[in-house]
Amino acid sequence: MVEGTNERHAWDEYGPGDELGALNNLSPARVLAAAGLIRRGAVFSLDLLIDEPGSGGDLRPTPLHHVERTEYGRDDHLDRFYLGASSQWDGLRHVKYRDRGYYGGRSEEDLDGSDVLGVDRIAGRGLVTRGVLVDVPRYFSDRGEPWDPLGRVAISEALLEEVLRHQATEIGRGDVLLLRTGWLDAWYALDPNEREPGGGPQSGLASDRSMAAWLWDHGLVGVAADNKAVERRPFIDRGDGRLHARLIPLLGIYLGEQFDLRAVAADCAEDRVYEGMFVSAPLRVRGGVSAPPNAYLLK
């Protein structure tokens, strides 16, 4: 328990000095089990192009790609390359819990001048496990009911369980939950002039303590969604707090944002198989806060 609050932490769960958090739930046995989910050899990239979805505003502008001719051919580089502007994993350096610090109770001084908790820790370990798609808009469509990905609807743990039952799918320890809210589809359907910086209102996971407990109790390594923050936005429910501030610094559960789940969702709807081998090798940035995921689901 975090002293002076009702929040629980997992700082002692994996031993002193731990920098991997929920990645500790992965094991060789779970990797082998995930490999056994490949039945057809179908491969789905879950990354957007590096300059999409855009409209990150001044905080995370779209990178500029420069290509130069050389004596031997061509070379290129990126300007304004914000590691969290497109598809990304939030590493354990990204968010702290109030004045209690980052994962493990680490202070700003612990992070300054060091690479502790860097996103390169994920890359070095590798994120290879079972991935499970939870397709919320497809669930409502199958039921003939409306769903608004731009309506700032809070997805509760009860709704997640309903969708999983509808899909005849279960989640378990070591899994990555791939949450499709439909935000990406709705975003691209908007006139570019109607797109708000930061993505505007978005439906997503509820931000309350019970959602954090549900994700922890299921032993998830991470949750990756197709919206900009996994949880619903904007963050204005001060009573509920933020899911980011519970999952990342307190529980060591990783959050993936702006994952492209459109193609894999269409495939899952066709064959009614909502699981596969999830493979992610984030960009190995020393001491990085976030990184593109280089993620795939294999079925």
Q: Tell me the C-alpha distance between 112 and 138, whole Å.
A: 44
pLDDT tens-digit map of 144-195: 999 999 999 999 999 999 999 999 999 999 999 999 999 999 999 999 888 8
pLDDT tens-digit map of 257-291: 999 999 999 999 999 999 999 999 999 999 999 99
Confidence band for 62, pLDDT divided at 50, 70 and 90: confident
Q: Which amino acid, residue 173?
A: R
pLDDT tens-digit map of 101-124: 999 999 999 999 999 999 999 999
**Quick one: pLDDT at residue 295?**
98
Nearest to 244 by CA among 197, 234, 254: 254
The architecture (CATH level 2) of 21-298 comes to: 3-Layer(bba) Sandwich (3.50)
Model's pTM, two decimal places?
A: 0.95
Region 125-137: what's the mean pLDDT?
97
Query: In the structure encoding, which two tokens stand for residue 35, read together?
Result: 């490999």
Q: How far is CA 272 from CA 48, 158, 195, in A?
A: 24, 21, 33
Give the mean pLDDT of the chain: 94
**Quick one: pLDDT at residue 60?**
83
Query: In the structure encoding, which two tokens stand for residue 61, read together?
Result: 């502008």
Query: In the structure encoding, which two tokens stand for residue 286, read together?
Result: 């020393």
**Quick one: pLDDT at residue 55?**
76
Confidence band for 197, pLDDT divided at 50, 70 and 90: confident
Confidence band for 236, pLDDT divided at 50, 70 and 90: low
**Quick one: pLDDT at residue 54?**
84
Region 52-70: what's the mean pLDDT?
87
**Quick one: pLDDT at residue 238?**
58
Confidence band for 239, pLDDT divided at 50, 70 and 90: low
pLDDT tens-digit map of 82-101: 999 999 999 999 999 988 89
Kind of pairing between the strands at 222-225 and 254-257:
parallel
Region 114-136: what's the mean pLDDT?
95
Confidence band for 13, pLDDT divided at 50, 70 and 90: very high
Q: Look at 61 and 127; give whichever has higher pLDDT.
A: 127
Query: In the structure encoding, which two tokens stand for residue 134, read together?
Result: 């939870």
Q: Are 81 and 290 in contact (CB under 8 A)?
A: no
Nearest to 12 by CA among 104, 100, 97: 104
Q: Are 222 and 255 in contact (CB under 8 A)?
A: yes
